[in-house]
Amino acid sequence: MQPSTDFFLITCEHGGNRIPSAYRYFFQDGAALLHSHRGYDAGALRVARELARTLDGPLFACSVSRLLIELNRSPKHPRLYSEMTRAAPAGVRQELFERYYLPYRTAVEERIARANADGSRVIHISSQSFTHELNGELRNADVGLLYDPARAAEASLCRQWRSALKETAPALKTRMNYPYAGTTDGFTVHLRRRFAGANYLGIELELNQKHVLESAAHWRAVRTAVIEALRDAVQRA
């Protein structure tokens, strides 16, 4: 039976660069890295909170730095732990996994399962951001929408989202599966294996961090345009 309603769920895996005191010795020489794009996704948590409020959906967010443990990678991914924690004793790495990684991902999975059981289709938006320059190369997009092209509902929603943004904020360049592919190792990929396409849509929203560095009015306008375009897209898709 097809789900009768849509249930929005918002996540933010890289919301902050906090390092709990018990693990700060791993980062004695890593302060600069923690404040860079590698430490967290600037602006992503702000967008996630506004998405959750606007769409009336639960928010799951992590403020611990991805350099401690990477919530958006599978357990066996070589970058689950950064160069700061990769060489930590096995017991410490297991502690990080059990304290931060497992509870976060389990809570999200369980909430999706409950929504499906209640007859709702889950639209999961993972709020992320990307550095405007990487390895000397400028990223050529303002907004990236990451999805699985093999999932028709995800593709349709992202097309409508891009179309709505083009109408209301034509100055923003939106690209599909950019600056990363939506099918590479990540949380949404894992969740697609768990939940059928009729019951779960997993979209990663990527915003260019250059907009976070602009004036408060500009950054607010970008956030508003992206979120309102999503609301329009859901009605169209």
pLDDT at residue 1, as a whole number: 53
How far apart, in whole angstroms, are the C-alpha atoms of residue 17 and residue 119? 37
For the chain, the residue count is 237
How far apart, in whole angstroms, are the C-alpha atoms of residue 159 and residue 154? 9
Residue 80: closest CA among 61, 102, 59, 58: 102
Residue 34, both tokens: 């923690």
pLDDT at residue 192, as a whole number: 98
pTM above 0.85, yes or no: yes
How far apart, in whole angstroms, are the C-alpha atoms of residue 144 and residue 206? 5
- Give pairs for 105-113: CB < 8 Å, separation 24+: 105/71, 105/187, 105/190, 107/60, 108/9, 108/11, 108/60, 108/187, 108/191, 109/191, 109/194, 111/9, 111/58, 111/60, 112/9, 112/191, 112/194, 112/195, 112/200, 113/195
pLDDT at residue 59, as a whole number: 98
pLDDT at residue 162, as a whole number: 98
Per-residue pLDDT of the chain (237 residues; tens, 9 = 90+): 567 799 999 999 999 999 999 999 999 988 899 999 999 999 999 999 999 999 999 999 999 999 999 999 999 999 999 999 999 999 999 999 999 999 999 999 999 999 999 999 999 999 999 999 888 888 999 999 999 999 999 999 999 999 999 999 999 999 999 999 999 999 999 999 999 999 999 999 999 999 999 999 999 999 999 999 999 999 887
pLDDT at residue 2, as a whole number: 61
User: What CATH fold (topology level) applies to the domain 5-236?
Assistant: Aminopeptidase (3.40.630)
pLDDT at residue 29, as a whole number: 87
How far apart, in whole angstroms, are the C-alpha atoms of residue 84 and residue 166? 41
